[in-house]
Amino acid sequence: MTQNIKSFIYLDDYKLYSLSSQLFQGFPEYIISENAASLTEEESQKGMFASGKIMSDLLKIEKASTEKKYLHDYAFNLLETELINRGILYAITLEDTSDTIQSKGIIKVTGRAIFNDYRTLQSTISRFNSIGESFGYFQLEEQIKASNDSISNASESTNDRNQKAKIKNLKQQASKILVSFLQENGLHIAEDNIKHMLNIIEYGFHGELEFRITPNKLPFQLSAILNREYLRDTESQFVSKYSRQTEYDFTMIGIITQSGKTKESLAQHIPNGLKNACLNLADKLTVMENLFLGRLDNECIIDPIAIYREL
């Protein structure tokens, strides 16, 4: 089967090793060689599938880290082909619902994506007023400079205590006018609101990195929490290249972990007793965490293996 060229943005090599070793009866150790010398491995992998020999023919290491990524990409192509041939990989169709894919193991979904970085969101909120003030400064630069010069000159030209108190009051009034302008233009949030928003986001989302795909004409969406270690680019590079809401389709392959209707709370079925008090507390924690991390009614959670754009 001819495969399209893939531009990977995410590849979990641990899951790649794990699945490949099971499907191919072992994964060639020389695939992950860190040897930087140029060499060709002629030893073939024993097993029912000829992947070991194919990979050994490819292995000509010039630079370990770069070549390692190339081999991972090719190894994933072999893995995906084998998953399809064995009927293990399920491609989501327009007829599917969040309930019908519950029984599926490894799924493939394609659509426009949203890249949601909670760590960056925390940083943006914490600096929101400072950044907003900088934007406001350039919009009112001439007025601010004229006001500051006037106040500074007035302060230097008098030693009268009453006059200095008036000048101080003028500074406070000027600051209030600037804040009011920023608020009217959406460039300022009350400090108490920022403090409480940060507290909630830090507790609820732990700086996680979320990738969400909403396929066209499907009644549900699929989301995954990414491990930053397996990204091919940094978060900022990805956003600069593709935008937080992508203009092109991306494909995600992963393992279904949550889908369908939300399960009933287990605490309702726990018998009374001192020993079960901790289980009740754990259930309360689950309820609290579900406010942040619980899936939406039309959402499926995926443990991602690979994310790429087909060219």
Question: Which residues, in sequence order, are bridge partners of residue 11?
Answer: 306
Residues 111 and 248 in one domain: yes
Residues 81 and 15 in one domain: yes
pTM over 0.85: no
Band (pLDDT 50/70/90 cuts) for residue 184 is: confident
Residues 208 and 108 in one domain: yes
Residues 210 and 303 in one domain: yes
Residues 21 and 38 in one domain: yes
Of 249, 259, 255, 262, nearest to 302 by C-alpha is 255
Residues 178 and 107 in one domain: no
Residues 302 and 243 in one domain: yes
Query: What pLDDT digit, counting tens, does each position of 207-221 carry?
Result: 899 999 988 888 888
Domain count within the chain: 3
Torsion of CA 290, 291, 293, 294, to 10 degrees: 50
Torsion of CA 4, 9, 15, 18, to 10 degrees: 50
- Residue 43: which domain range? 6-85
Residue 17 lies in a domain: yes
Residues 108 and 232 in one domain: yes
Query: What pLDDT digit, counting tens, does each position of 112-156 carry?
Result: 999 989 888 888 889 988 888 888 878 776 776 666 656 565 565
Q: Which domain-ending residue is among 162, 196, 230?
A: 196
Residue 49 lies in a domain: yes
Residues 99 and 52 in one domain: no
